[in-house]
Chains A and B, each alone.
Chain A
Amino acid sequence: MNRAILNQLDVEAEKVVAKYDQKKAATLTLLHMAQDKVGYVTPEIEAWVSKWTEVPVVHVHEVVTFYSMYHKKPAGKTHIRFCTGTSCALGGYEKILSHLKKKLNIQNGEVTKDGKFSLEEAECLCACECAPMMQVGDKYHMDLTEKKVDQILDAHK
């Protein structure tokens, strides 16, 4: 299944690589592209990126493990990054995070049984003016309350 998806991405990959002055510079972008389609970074994806960037697979793997946004194992359909930075702490995020955990019945780094959500306690996401906040999928949700968290989760059901 991976292979078919990656074959489809080849057309786009060629355009991406062409934008950069050196092929290896496309590494992060290609990883984002493939992860968006597959859900996490598989060994096939690493090999595919290595093919396009002409850097050894081991080097691609090193990159994957360095950056927090690349999932090394399957994430939920919607990934939640909950900000645990200083401003969110001043805004009392702990209570809202435990509410979210109770609701999803998962801890940091886990995926819900139905595979719908995964949770990551993130470092500062730089929306400090609207603390506490979390990122659900791509979107920033700010000035969180327990009620707001309920509404956001319901909208993703």
Chain B
Amino acid sequence: MSEPILSRNFNIPDAHKLSVAESRGAYETAKKVLATSKPEDVINAVIASNLRGLGGAGFPTGKKWQFLPKDNPKPVYLVINADEGEPGTCKDRYILERDPHQMIEGIIISAFAIKSHKAYVYIRGEYVEPYRNLQAAVDEAYKKGYLGKNLFGGTYSLDLVVHRGAGAYICGEETALLESLEGKRGLPRLKPPFPAIVGLFGCPTIINNVETVACVPHIMKNGAEWFVKLGTPTCGGTHLFSLSGHVKKPGVYELPMGIPLKEIIYNYGGGIKGDKQLKAVIPGGISAKILTAAEIDVKMDYDSLKAAGTMMGSAGIMVMDENTCMVKMLYYATKFFSHESCGQCSPCREGTGWAHKIVTRMYHGEGTLKDLDTLLTIARNMEGRTICVFADAAAWPIQSYIGKFRAEFEAYIQNGKGKDLKPQEAVLQHG
């Protein structure tokens, strides 16, 4: 990759401060757009750019914005999803903490495009330090007249409120996020109606990920065509890939859409720690189906990963070396999902808990071969039967780990492995 775009300020000291950000060009594009463009111009540019939502689902951003009702008398809200919680993902934290003005500028242009005058940023509660940097950046922007009434001395006004979550992965799901923002438990809503029609406080609402809106100023500055060329034919731009696990150089890497997974692991990540063999990779956060070492010849974009039977998700890549125990990995996956199920739908509430109980028993050397089929049945009964796709995401690790490493699971059970695990590991209590 030649020039970093989203990550260009990540290693500049104090880039979260307005003076430094402005010396690097922050808000120039927003000023220009508000002075010279119409909202439709921005929407058209974003459509032409092939920008797709970077929160996980990859939905075309401009198309989503067009779902807003025409001639609508109610206020329109822009809500930014900064609830980053998908295991394996740490990209939004970099923008929030190191370059919040980039996101604020993106919010200004995006809100202008959808004719919204009020934006909320929902940031995960544990991100206290990123929150402080972001809130300080918002305060500075208000002081300078970049937020509030008559932005940049023009006619457009926008208020921005930063709202802290309080520890619940499910609030990353957009309708649970709205419930939570309204002061309630984070229980996902039935769709339709979609948030673009009935969203926050019953009003039309657009929800976008931090990184998605951060792309918008760059599209307006350099043109949609430039953005298209950075990516694949169906998905423009670059993406912040979070790389963790058994690689020599874990980190957040900004790379073009469609970059080969192998290149990320072996070039950017420096290869496997201790020069061991690769065993498996989770390409898109814990919810994505696992790939075996033989399956990693795949490009990192929504369509290629879908074709490979998994998904891009949040682009959180977790790398596992030859010594990784798949029973243990499944234990960690089911622990996460059973802890984070919101409990609203019974297939999910019961299924995630039951699966975790079985896997915990198996992990500690008390499993039976029959357990494997029971787990697959539980997974099948969670898929597609609930209000949101959390339950599907909980089913996929079970299906893919057992499906692709069944022999290892069987050997673990038959050899009575796990019996020697220390008791303190056995009593990991959650909730």
Residues of A within 8 A of B (CB): 19-22, 24-29, 31-32, 53, 55, 59, 62-63, 66-70, 81, 84-87, 89-91, 94, 98, 101, 107-109, 121-131, 135, 138-140
Distance, CA A22 to CA B165, complexed state (A):
17
CB distance from A106 to the nearest CB of B (A): 12
Instruction: Determine whether the beta carbon of B429 is less than 8 Å from that of A109.
Output: yes
A86-B336, A87-B88, A123-B339 known; A24 vs B182 contact (CB < 8 Å): yes
Distance, CA A108 to CA B424, complexed state (A):
10
Chain B 230-245 per-residue mask, 1 if CB under 8 angstroms from chain A, else 0: 0000000000001111
Q: Does B126 contact A (CB under 8 A)?
A: yes
Distance, CA A138 to CA B318, complexed state (A):
26
Query: Which residue from chain B places its CB closest to the CB of A16 in the assembled complex?
Result: B161
Instruction: Determine whether the beta carbon of B166 is less than 8 Å from that of A121.
Output: no
User: Mind listing 7 A-B residue pairs with CB under 8 Å?
Assistant: A25-B181, A29-B163, A32-B166, A81-B126, A87-B88, A90-B245, A139-B128
Instruction: Determine whether the beta carbon of B429 is less than 8 Å from that of A31.
Output: no
Instruction: Determine whether the beta carbon of B318 is less than 8 Å from that of A126.
Output: no
CB distance from A69 to the nearest CB of B (A): 4
Q: Does B87 contact A (CB under 8 A)?
A: yes
Instruction: Determine whether the beta carbon of A85 is less than 8 Å from that of B181.
Output: no
Chain B 163-179 per-residue mask, 1 if CB under 8 angstroms from chain A, else 0: 11111110000000000
Chain B 67-97 per-residue mask, 1 if CB under 8 angstroms from chain A, else 0: 0000000010000000011111110010000
A85-B332, A128-B90, A129-B252 known; A68 vs B85 contact (CB < 8 Å): no
Query: Which residue from chain B places its CB closest to the CB of A28 in the assembled complex?
Result: B166
Cross-chain pair count, CB within 8 angstroms: 160
Distance, CA A54 to CA B100, complexed state (A):
33
Instruction: Determine whether the beta carbon of B185 is less than 8 Å from that of A126.
Output: no
Distance, CA A105 to CA B45, complexed state (A):
59
Instruction: Determine whether the beta carbon of A121 is less than 8 Å from that of B429.
Output: yes
A28-B180, A90-B318 known; A128 vs B128 contact (CB < 8 Å): no
Query: Which residue from chain B places its CB closest to the CB of A81 in the assembled complex?
Result: B126
Instruction: Determine whether the beta carbon of A131 is less than 8 Å from that of B126.
Output: no
A123-B340, A126-B90, A128-B244 known; A69 vs B167 contact (CB < 8 Å): yes
Instruction: Determine whether the beta carbon of A138 is less than 8 Å from that of B128.
Output: yes
Distance, CA A66 to CA B167, complexed state (A):
9
Distance, CA A1 to CA B128, complexed state (A):
27
CB distance from A136 to the nearest CB of B (A): 11
Query: Which residue from chain A places its CB closest to the CB of B132 in the assembled complex?
Result: A138
Distance, CA A60 to CA B90, complexed state (A):
31
Distance, CA A66 to CA B339, complexed state (A):
11
Instruction: Determine whether the beta carbon of B336 is less than 8 Å from that of A123.
Output: yes
Q: Does B320 contact A (CB under 8 A)?
A: yes
4 closest cross-chain pairs (CB), A and B: A27-B183, A68-B167, A67-B166, A69-B167
Instruction: Determine whether the beta carbon of A126 is less than 8 Å from that of B89.
Output: yes
Chain B residues whose CB sits within 8 angstroms of the CB of A67 once the complex forms = 125, 165-168, 186
CB distance from A124 to the nearest CB of B (A): 4
Distance, CA A124 to CA B340, complexed state (A):
11
Chain A residues whose CB sits within 8 angstroms of the CB of B243 once the complex forms = 129
Known: A28-B183, A131-B250. 15 other contacts (CB 8 A): A24-B182, A24-B183, A24-B184, A25-B201, A28-B165, A28-B166, A66-B168, A67-B125, A67-B186, A87-B88, A108-B429, A124-B169, A128-B88, A129-B243, A129-B252
Question: Among the listed A19, A81, A89, A91, which residue makes an inter-chain contact with B328, where contact means beta carbons less than 8 Å apart?
Answer: A89
Distance, CA A94 to CA B81, complexed state (A):
31
Query: Which residue from chain B places its CB closest to the CB of A53 in the assembled complex?
Result: B183
- B window 214-256: CB within 8 A of A: 242-246, 250-252
Question: Among the listed B118, B242, B333, B340, which residue makes an inter-chain contact with A86, where contact means beta carbons less than 8 Å apart?
Answer: B333
